[in-house]
Amino acid sequence: MGTLFEETATYGTVGEELPPLFAYYGEKQLDLSGLTAREQMLSVLEAELDVLSAEEPVILLAVR
């Protein structure tokens, strides 16, 4: 997950700017684009995915 942030983040006068991030799993779409900090995104994503089995595929999409 860190690599995704490193490859898609930009840095400006306000520091790290993360791209809109979406997670797709099962029949759900999780929109993390309203969150501005990496820690917030990771916390919400971990809470959502915690109930999934380890075999459940998850697609993460960062929009540049």
The string of pLDDT tens digits covering residues 23-41 is 999 899 999 988 878 889 8
C-alpha distances out from residue 25 to 11, 12, 29, 44, 60, Å = 29, 32, 7, 14, 9
CB 16 within 8 A of CB 9: yes
What 3-state DSSP class applies to 52?
Answer: coil
User: Which regions of the chain are under pLDDT 50?
Assistant: none
pLDDT in the model for residue 32: 93
pLDDT in the model for residue 44: 94
**Residue found under tokens 């089995």:** 53
